[in-house]
A and B are shown apart, each in its own frame.
Chain A
């Protein structure tokens, strides 16, 4: 059973370009979390999605960032017009259920975004 897959593992963008980060959850998991880790800091929650629904985006910056989890295909974290401050490691986690039960979140290896 493959784990959570993220690609690309490393992404380099110039300021003003768009970055698309992909996350394929574990088989059977329909809940996805995105976290960001800035240099020398812990991971910070960004957004929680179920298939075709954004449930909690309280950690997402108000501008330039968006996320989706379509019925088919991976979850996408999209950053438009990247700036140097967006350079970070972005981690995706999936879980089988979320409501009312404490479920383990399984993490992917992360995408390291560098903005030049």
Chain B
């Protein structure tokens, strides 16, 4: 199975700055990589998906990169806002299996 590592430490950044979260994986490269947001006491919310043959994907203030050589994905939130404070989960999928990281807690300080 896959092992996924996300920043274990919480990330605190100042409002307006760019937050960068890291997702590293071992073993085989997944066909798809997703990022989700999870707020306390709630289910994850889908944000972005990137395929193995894509290098970068953007959606509004969000950007995801996928480097299959480094076995790493970076998730960027530009012009961060306090409302972006949440835990962000990385998920990898190939075929019928899905593997999630433990998440990185992001706090945007006003």
Do A and B assemble together? no
